[in-house]
Amino acid sequence: MNLEKIIPAISWLRNYKSRYFYFDLISGINLGVSMIPKAMAYALVAGLPPIYGLYASFVAPLVAILFGSNKLLFTGPVGVMTVLVFTALSPLAEPGTPEYINMAALLSLIVGFIILVIALLRLTFILNLISHAAVIGFVNAAALIITATQLKYIFGIHVPKEEYVILMFLEILKNLPETNLYVLGLSIVAFASIIYLHRRYPRMPETLVVLVVLTLLVYFMNLEEKGVELVGSLPQGLPMPVFPGVDISKLGVLIASAAVIAIVGMTETYSISKIVAYNTKQKVDFNQEFIGQGLANIATAFFRGYPVCGSFSGTSVNWSSGARTGVSIIIFSILALLSITVLTPVFYYLPKFMLAVIVILAVMKLFQPRQLLEIYRINRYDGIVAMTTFAVSILTKPDDGIIVGVVLALALYVWKTMHTSVYIVTKDKETGYFIACSELRESGCEQLLILKPEGPMIYVNAEHMRDEILRLVGSHRKVKCVILDMAAVYYMDTSGIDALRDLIEELHKKNIRLLLIHVEDEVLDAIAKEGLMEQLEVHETKKEAIASAFEYLDKSICKDCDRDIFNECRERR
């Protein structure tokens, strides 16, 4: 057995160069500075105490980098995943309670198992079912939902738990008169300081600087007495690995939620890995990558973590810091472990509003409503999917939104396939080139129609395509010959063959000859097996088909025509 195939990290660790270490060390430190506070903040979004973000951040990146194929991919808590965790678990238990914490770990275990099975069975093709438009709609909605969950910390108010984001916003508005001005003022200072420092000193770890300064300010001014809520006491030390408890009565709901979370996590990881692979020219085995992601979630579950996936922000920090190998991720895991074992007393004084500021600044980069309008402008169907996903995610729950988006995208695809367009290819007066249009122009030939179906002829659209071709032929009474450009008809099932046979018979009754061009080998074999070759002509090029078609045209009509569409037109006069 080749151990390197099981643990790909062995390969790059064996060939590790000492000159890489400086770059990996700097990248690992930068990761720690930027991602450790963010991991604690995301834990709050997920409904967990902040320390559980560190548990996930310690074990998940380490396992993923050892068993995955992308040596720069950072795996950890991600905003989109955390909101899915919260919406999945909050109806089942009170956030922050031992029952809730256990279910978060169990959810991570199920997510990891689902991803691992998909990877081992090489079923990653199911990611193609996730529409890009649905993902964009979902991510934009998730950014707003995550922001909504953090506003109570920004205003220093207490808001009852609500399952739907609209109700959450209403509760926030209702409780605004109770705003703690100390908390709100410090939150504004935090927002302004981080944004200013990021623009003025782009190389400075602005988030960490502001976090330290405001934590010290809250501590020395004793602002806890003024209502500034702190993180408080956290358990010190790494917990012993333990198998999550299983509540059979809630297992079915958890499995359904885990399936959605797993697919979303795989989609995000896949997208990030492709970007990194393209820019670094490294080869990524996605099945192996998802084995790493599955094992990372399983390992996280035993350390009381919650579902994780590839992180765009973490990977960006790692890559832009000059990391050469996954050693940078290992260094980060060591820093996360030190935070868990040594720094937990310090974390007591972290103000919760500061963690909320970190989360909001991170996720608002994902909120780009212009994307929805741009998608609609480019493709109406994709725009409908993106906007519907966004609306459903906001009005109900985000996991409902992504499911509706995926189903709607598939439904629209089937609908478009059922109504495959058939275009008329005719000559443009201005350019002299042949173009496809929905109706025959005045410059078109009265006797020869060149038609181009835009898709496969299969059971869902075969009859529609046949009827559309007959409609176009019937609207031009002088047609003697039809050329079908089959370039886009890459597949034809038995229903398609039956529709083609009917088409040949109907055209034969009208004394119209049918010719095919650009026919795929697979389609041609299917036509030949059905014995239809004798009833039509097949040509490789349009030029050959047009030359043959002129043998069937009425010469007297050609003699009186002055359109000069084809080269053969002049020869007929």
pLDDT digits (tens, 9 = 90+) for 232-246: 888 888 888 999 998
pLDDT at residue number 274: 82
- 185 by DSSP, 3-state: which? helix
Mean pLDDT confidence for 547-567: 78
CATH code assigned at 493: 3.30.750.24
Residue 507 vs residues 1, 29, 480, 503: alpha-carbon distances, Å: 64, 74, 9, 6
Q: Is 454 exposed, middle or buried (0-12, 13-18, 19+ CB in 10 A)?
A: middle
Contact 222, 228 (CB under 8 A): no
Contact 118, 290 (CB under 8 A): yes
Residue 434 belongs to a domain: yes
Centre a 10 Å sphere on the Cβ of residue 413 and count the other Cβ atoms it contains: 14
Mean pLDDT confidence for 221-233: 91
Residue 412 belongs to a domain: no
Question: Which residue, among 68, 112, 109, has the nearest Cα to 330 in the 3D structure?
Answer: 68
402 Cα distance to chain centroid: 10
- Looking at the fold, whether 34 and 154 belong to one and the same domain comes out as yes
pLDDT at residue number 497: 94
- Local confidence band at 515 (pLDDT 50, 70, 90 cut-offs): very high
pLDDT at residue number 429: 64
Stretch among 58-62, 113-117, 131-135 having the lowest mean pLDDT: 131-135
Residue 440 belongs to a domain: yes
- Local confidence band at 572 (pLDDT 50, 70, 90 cut-offs): low
| Phi and psi at residue 426, to the nearest 5° | -140, 170
What is the rounded CA–CA span in Å between residue 14 and residue 35? 28
- 53 by DSSP, 3-state: which? helix
Judge whether residue 432 has pLDDT over 70.
no
Residue 445 belongs to a domain: yes
pLDDT at residue number 164: 81
Residue 411 belongs to a domain: no
Structure token pair of residue 351: 């103000």
349 Cα distance to chain centroid: 37
Residue type, 220: F
Question: Which residue, among 415, 86, 136, has the nearest Cα to 261 in the 3D structure?
Answer: 86
- Looking at the fold, whether 215 and 327 belong to one and the same domain comes out as yes
16 Cα distance to chain centroid: 33
- Residue that wins the pLDDT comparison between 377 and 165: 377
Mean pLDDT confidence for 9-38: 91
Task: Please count the residues of the chain.
Answer: 573
- Looking at the fold, whether 395 and 475 belong to one and the same domain comes out as no
Contact 479, 511 (CB under 8 A): no
Residue with tokens 């808001």: 159
Range of the domain at 198: 21-402
DSSP one-letter code for 492: B
- Looking at the fold, whether 165 and 263 belong to one and the same domain comes out as yes
Residue with tokens 């220093």: 156
Judge whether residue 573 has pLDDT over 60.
no
Terminal Cα-to-Cα distance of the chain (whole angstroms): 77
pLDDT at residue number 438: 62
Judge whether residue 441 has pLDDT over 60.
no
Residue with tokens 């003022």: 185
- 450 by DSSP, 3-state: which? strand
Per the DSSP assignment, residues forming a β-bridge with 309 are 76
pLDDT digits (tens, 9 = 90+) for 335-362: 999 999 998 888 999 999 999 999 999 8
pLDDT at residue number 165: 83
pLDDT at residue number 6: 84
pLDDT at residue number 272: 86
Judge whether residue 440 has pLDDT over 60.
no
pLDDT at residue number 382: 92
- Looking at the fold, whether 432 and 322 belong to one and the same domain comes out as no
Mean pLDDT confidence for 33-41: 91
SS3 content of the chain, % helix, strand, coil (to 5): 65, 5, 30
- Looking at the fold, whether 384 and 483 belong to one and the same domain comes out as no
Residue 16 belongs to a domain: no
Strand bridging mode 481-485 / 434-437: unpaired
Q: What is the dihedral of CA 452, 454, 460, 463, to 10 degrees?
A: -10
pLDDT at residue number 430: 65
- Looking at the fold, whether 396 and 468 belong to one and the same domain comes out as no
Judge whether residue 543 has pLDDT over 90.
no
- Looking at the fold, whether 236 and 313 belong to one and the same domain comes out as yes
Output the CA angle 18-332-32, nearest 5 degrees.
120
| Phi and psi at residue 419, to the nearest 5° | -115, 45
Contact 88, 254 (CB under 8 A): yes
pLDDT at residue number 439: 61
Question: Contacts for 270-278 with beta carbons within 8 Å, 24 or more apart?
Answer: 270/124, 270/127, 271/312, 272/73, 272/310, 272/311, 272/312, 272/315, 273/70, 273/73, 273/310, 276/70, 276/72, 276/73, 276/315, 276/319, 277/70
Contact 198, 300 (CB under 8 A): no
- Looking at the fold, whether 473 and 333 belong to one and the same domain comes out as no
Residue type, 438: S
Mean pLDDT confidence for 89-104: 93
Given 374, 402, 430, the domain boundary residue is: 402
pLDDT at residue number 571: 62
Mean pLDDT confidence for 530-535: 87
Q: Where are the alpha helices (DSSP H) in 281-429?
A: 286-302, 312-320, 327-341, 344-347, 352-363, 369-378, 380-395, 398-418
- Looking at the fold, whether 120 and 232 belong to one and the same domain comes out as yes
Question: Which residue, among 188, 159, 179, 193, has the nearest Cα to 227 in the 3D structure?
Answer: 179
% of residues, the chain, pLDDT over 70: 96
Judge whether residue 442 has pLDDT over 80.
no
Residue 95 belongs to a domain: yes
User: How much is the mean pLDDT over the chain?
Assistant: 89
Contact 476, 440 (CB under 8 A): yes
- Residue that wins the pLDDT comparison between 495 and 5: 495
- Looking at the fold, whether 381 and 453 belong to one and the same domain comes out as no
| Phi and psi at residue 411, to the nearest 5° | -65, -40
Q: What is the dihedral of CA 214, 215, 221, 227, to 10 degrees?
A: 100
- Local confidence band at 5 (pLDDT 50, 70, 90 cut-offs): confident
pLDDT digits (tens, 9 = 90+) for 359-401: 999 888 888 889 899 999 999 999 999 999 999 999 988 888 8
**How many domains does the chain contain in total?**
2
Mean pLDDT confidence for 455-467: 93
Residue 414 belongs to a domain: no
Judge whether residue 419 has pLDDT over 90.
no
- Looking at the fold, whether 369 and 435 belong to one and the same domain comes out as no
